[in-house]
Structure formats: structure tokens, C-alpha cells
A and B are shown apart, each in its own frame.
Chain A
């Protein structure tokens, strides 16, 4: 039989039309909508603009911000228990296939009968569809994150080097800087197990030509590319500060802003902090570029935050209204100005006022346009977790590279249906 479901069995995916009917009935009475958000600058920015929305429409917007893991728990529990507590949820883009297949989200096609505004960078909209790129729309991209390569321009100049084109260059430069520059290491990586190390390692993995899953969905993390990428990664570790095995974003950010690390892969939202004299010793000394390639072209990893509507929300219409409003060019610009937003619209990247403020915008738009998404599989969370654990083991020297990757691959294989 079936296990005792924690709540009365959720009704099968109800057609959107039906839902909108319900919602139409509710519509006039909507006094507030609740958003589950990833804590951080973007949630803060969201809160800031939400106040404005309330002023305009009278609808109260409650933004509940929470850490990464809890956000996912919260969304799943909310929908699976039909509690309807949230009307909008922020999602990391790799969750999309999982959420889409699990029917957690409301299909938004009906609300975008004319299609989505082409101003959105296509790669970001692709993420919002399920299946990827081609399917129905389940979300809108709120934060257009993409990985970028940060490097200390001043040091490159000081030692007469050229900015790196590929990972071999990175290694070479890192070596020089580590050797020559007191108290500064060449490269800082994120070594903490799970999402941090995977996000940080994947650019290399792709650059060396690796693929997580092949056409048949068979895992390939122990491919030769994977091994080579890992070898480079290990070398980079040795050219970094001690203790990177435990580093996450916060630590590499600290390393960079304290002038301890010369190069790293990071998210664009850092730029504001890096260039802020109060937080950073290296303000103005850092340059931003697309992530280096190797065998392959530069492959920046896209890491968008999407905004979707849980299927169980009773205020879908109002939610969609807010969604449209908050992803509009004006609001995106405003959020960008506050410092929490990373635009997903071309027009915003090209806004002169913003370029004035954020010198990396052109580079970022380019990276975004050329970005690569993580594998579109509902099992991504698990793959990432397992893979990340073995990568971390390798990094910490618990196992050899090949053996660790083999085990990771084996385990990922077992995990997939």
C-alpha cells in the first residue's frame, strides 16, 4: 500500500484554468502575499522594493528570508502539505526540473499568453521553463547570476603578466603571485563539501570538456576530463591559502577582500563589496572576466534565482502580478541600485547609469549570454551532494583522484532510476 501521506493525498495537478477560476474569485480580497526568499542581499532588495509595491497597490508583501537548504525544505513541505502558506517562492535554478516534474509549481503559460518579454536574457528564461528551454513557463528569472572570474589586475601588472585565457594560465599566474607577493596567494577555491565545491569545480570540469551526464543520462564525472580538471584543482589548492578545504563563499570573499587571494571564481553580486572601501582592502584593484576555458571555450555556470508560484497558493493571480512587476526593467534597475539585484534583462545591463555604477556589467552580460546551465535533471540536488562529498574527500587527501571520482560516479549511477 501507500505510506500514510502526511496530509490528505494532494490532488493531482489541477489544470491552471481551474486554479485561475478560484483565484479570480479570491482576487479582489487579496490583502497580502507571502514570499519565501533566499536570505541575503537579494531578499533585502526584494523587501525594499516590496514596500514600494505595497504603496502602489495596497497589497502587503511579506518576505520571509531563509538559508539555502531551509528554503527548499520549506517550499516542498508547503506544497506537499497543501498548506498554501506561500504565494511566491525563490528557487535556485537547478531545482527547476525537480519542482517542475513534481508539479509543485503553478503553470504560468496562461498568464503569459503573449509570451515572455524578449528583453529577458534567453538563457535565464530557458531556466524558467520545464522542460528546459522548451516547456511551459513555471517561473521568471529574478536574479541573473552567472559565475565570473575575479583577478587582481594590479598584481598581474606588477609582475608583468597577462590576464589568464585558460586554466593553465591561471596556474602559472598563481604560481608567480604565490611565490613573489608576500601574504597573497594565487588562487582561492571553495572546498567545502556539497554545493560549494561543486559550483567551484564545475567551470574547470566543463573547461576540460567534462559532462555530468551523457546523452543517455549516464553519469560521467569520472571521465578523463573530470580527472584532469581535478588535478588542476588540486594544484590550485596548493596555490591558495591554507584551509581552503573548509572554504565557502564567505571565506573566499574574505580572502579576496583582505588581499590574500589574487584570483577566484565568484558571483557578480560581490563586486559591490569588493569595490567598497569599508569592506575591502582591494577596492578598485580587481578585474572581472569570463571564466577561463581550457579544452572547451569559457563556460560560465549560470546560477539564477527564479521566482515561481507554488501550486497550492490561493492567490496565484496576485502573485503573478507581483512577479511581473518585480522583474520589470524599472524594478530590476532599482534593485540593482540598492545592491541586491542582478538583472536578468538586457536593457538593464545596458543602462548607462548602472554601468557607471557597476563597471563589470558589460562583462557580466556577455557571460550571461554565454552561460551554461547545470544538468537539467530532477536528481541534480543529489548528484551535487554526492559528487561534492567525493570532491571534498579528494581535496582533503582522503582518497586518490581517480578512485574518488570513480566512487562518486558509481554512487550517482546507483542513485539515478
Chain B
């Protein structure tokens, strides 16, 4: 846990009581800053989601809803079937990020451990696809999907997101894989593990923090992706959250209330996903396994 323990110790080790108090104060101060910085806009969103339009724009902003209303949430569910939308998003994001991480980790492992012909080309290609602005891909991808009859299906989105997330996942994971001490892999090889077993049983558990981080990123990106979701899906019952929310930017008005409510609600599933994966983020595993 790298500096973890020291930092914790520091609280015990400082020379005087005042310094302890000072440190605690500093600590609390930084913490407060981070929390406020991260949460204020979210709080503001939540705050707005409980206000009527009039209050949202009162010239002296109200820091809590003076006339709280659940109307915005009600509208979202009642009129927009937001639950189904969240389900769509969750399904598309989950499947695509799991597959992206699965494929990505396989490829990243091969790329970080083996030398083979065409490796540079592959690496460059992967990066290139990430650099290209998605707008440049929309037209050709749309026509591919149309030709294979995948338009207006979740599969189209899942495929697009895998492609969209793979370069990223691969590059991330290459970094994590190269941090594993090669000795541990050697050891497993000698113990009779095939490359795939080494990968499955040794390497993957060791990069759990990296996998978790990558999965979170992929999930988030898929969850929030707008352009492909907009273009590939036509049935209202298949749309994803960002598309549904974009429907709240109407010609004359932005429906701030439902929009804020939707923002708040749409984070809940993703938050669950993140919290679930956080456990994998915590453990530093390479400690004490290898000397030097």
C-alpha cells in the first residue's frame, strides 16, 4: 500500500500535539476542498432537480430547494420511461465494457510480453483509431451497421463501443502489465502453467487494480457516449441515457429540472458498478513477493 502506512504513521509520529492538530487541520482542509470541488456541481444538480423552473433561475440562487418538488423526477419516469432507458444503457455499457476489457487484456498482454511481426503496426493502428475524431467514423460505421442489418439494435452500439474502448483499454493495460515482475510469471511457467494459465491465474489477479480502473473507464465512456447512440438507435425503447437526456434540450427551452434529475439518477447504476469494482482497486499485491 505504498506510502499508505507511512501517512498513517505520520499521525502518530509528529513531534508535538500542535503539529498533530495542524496536520489534522491541513488534512481536513484538503479533504474538504476535494469533496466540495467534486461534489458541488453534483449537489447543484441535485438541488435543481428538486426545484421548479422559477426557483432554478431566481436571481439569488437558493442553496436548497425552498419549495421542493418531485415533479421533475415524476416527469422523467412517467413521461419518458426513464427506467427502461437506464436499463438499456446499463446493458449496453456493461456488455461492451466487459468485452472490451476481456479482449483488451488479452491483446495488451500479448503486446506487452511477446515480440512478433507487425507489433508496431498493430500498436500504431490501435492508437490511430483512438486519435481519429469520432465524427469521422460515424458515416462509415453507420453504413457498415446498415449493411449488416444491425442498425437500431443494441449489438451495433455494443460493437461500436468495444471498438471505441479497445484502444484505450489496450494501452492502459499494457502499462499495468509491464509493471508485473516478470519473475512471478516465470515461476508460474516453470510450475507448468501454459501461457493462458499464467495469464488467467497469475497476471490477471495481479493487475486487478488496473483491470478495475480500465473497466470503470470503459463503462463510463460507453454509458455516456452520445453520438453513436444517437445515430444507431431509432426505437425510443432502445435509447440510452445520454440520448434520452438530450431530448430535454428542446427547441425553445432546456428542461433543466428533468435534466438534473436525469443526471442524478443516471449516476446511480454507474456508481454501483464503480463501488463494486473499487474493492479491486484497493489491494497492492506485488508487495513482498519478489526481492529487489
Contacts and interface: CB of A to CB of B under 8 A. Distances in A.
Nearest to B149: A83
Interface residues of B, number: 34
Contact of A81 (B59, B143, B254): B143
Interface string A127-159: 000000000000000000000000000000000
Given A63-B236, A83-B146, A279 B247 contact: no
Nearest to A82: B146
A280 B54 CA distance: 6
B57 interface: yes
A40 B151 contact: no
B78 to A, nearest CB: 12
Nearest to A70: B230
Nearest to A8: B147
Contacts of B54: 257-258, 278-281
A36 B152 CA distance: 13
A85 B250 contact: no
B58 interface: yes
Interface in B236-254: 236-237, 239, 243, 246-254
Contacts of A34: 234-235
Interface in B249-274: 249-254
B59 A85 contact: no
Nearest to A39: B247
A273 B236 contact: no
B139 interface: yes
Interface stretch (A246-254, A328-336, A349-357): A246-254
A267 B151 contact: no
B231 A77 contact: yes
* Interface residues on chain A, size class: 35 or more
A44 B80 CA distance: 10
Contact of A273 (B58, B59, B142, B253): B253
A253 B102 CA distance: 49
A68 interface: yes
Contact of A250 (B58, B142, B147, B252): B252
B146 A249 contact: no
A249 B231 contact: no
Given A7-B143, A70-B246, A258-B57, A279 B52 contact: yes
Nearest to A280: B54
A74 interface: yes
B27 to A, nearest CB: 39
B246 A66 contact: yes
Given A7-B147, A85-B234, A183-B59, 4 more contacts: A77-B139, A81-B142, A82-B146, A253-B253
28 contacts: A34-B234, A34-B235, A40-B250, A41-B250, A42-B251, A43-B247, A64-B234, A65-B247, A66-B246, A67-B249, A68-B251, A73-B138, A73-B230, A73-B231, A74-B230, A77-B138, A81-B142, A82-B146, A85-B152, A250-B253, A253-B252, A258-B54, A258-B57, A258-B58, A266-B252, A269-B252, A273-B253, A278-B52
Interface of B: 52-54, 57-59, 79, 138-140, 142-143, 146-147, 151-152, 230-231, 233-237, 239, 243, 246-254
